[in-house]
Amino acid sequence: MIKALGKTALTGDVEIAMGKDGLPTTFVPGRNIFFFTSAAAIAYRRGIKHLVGGMCETDYSGYPDCRDDTLKSLQVSLNLGLDARFIIDTPLMWRDKAATWALAEALGGAALVDLIVEETHSCYRGDRATRHDWGYGCAACPACKLRANGWARYKAARP
């Protein structure tokens, strides 16, 4: 279904670069709006009020649907459209990647950090074969560079 929204570097064989519109070619138009709308429909039926997203505006790829203003507006639209009172929580919105790693350590210690390194990835190319200190990824795409840079700053700040 997401592929039907348009060919991008995340949904098809497109080079990862800055597009003519000033957005990375990894931008999938409406992806986060679609995800939150789908989550809200399920949450509505289950009586759930909080929708949580892991996007941040501090160090990100410039996607319009990761901005705080977009998500605040979406929260209002979902509440009006579903006659509900959802809260879109984005606990990482104002944290850079180094602060996000530090938060993981504060919440779950080394075990949580290790779990995130081993079981998650943000590589735009989906590389799960190459393991780095910061986790799996190609190390060349913008998402891997952000993650690696955040990891390096996180590790440098530790005693």
Structure confidence at residue 14 (pLDDT): 77
Quick one: average pLDDT of 113-117? 98
Helix (H, G, I), strand (E, B) or coil at 14: coil
Cα 4 to Cα 102: distance, rounded to the nearest angstrom = 37
Domain residue spans of the chain: 1-94, 96-159
Structure confidence at residue 92 (pLDDT): 96
- CATH code that applies to domain 1-94: 3.40.50.620
Mean pLDDT score across all residues of the chain: 92
Cα 59 to Cα 27: distance, rounded to the nearest angstrom = 15
pLDDT digits (tens, 9 = 90+) for 51-90: 999 999 887 778 899 999 999 999 999 999 999 999 999 9
The one-letter amino acid code at 1 reads: M
List the single range of 9-18, 30-39, 64-73, 149-158 with lowest mean pLDDT. Answer: 9-18
pTM across the whole model = 0.84
Q: Which long-range contacts (CB under 8 A, 24 or more apart) does 122-125 make?
A: 122/146, 122/147, 124/9, 124/10, 124/16, 124/26, 125/16
Among residues 148, 32, 68, 144, which one has the least CA distance to residue 101? 148
β-bridge partners, 89: 52
Cα 55 to Cα 90: distance, rounded to the nearest angstrom = 7
User: What 8-state DSSP symbol labels residue 91?
Assistant: T
Structure confidence at residue 5 (pLDDT): 63
More confident residue, 159 or 105: 105
Quick one: average pLDDT of 85-110? 97
Quick one: average pLDDT of 140-152? 94
Quick one: average pLDDT of 146-155? 97
More confident residue, 17 or 92: 92
Compute and round to an integer the Cα radius of gyration of the chain: 17
Quick one: average pLDDT of 86-100? 97
Residue 111 contacts residue 92 (beta carbons within 8 Å):
no
Confidence of residue 2 (pLDDT cuts 50, 70, 90): low
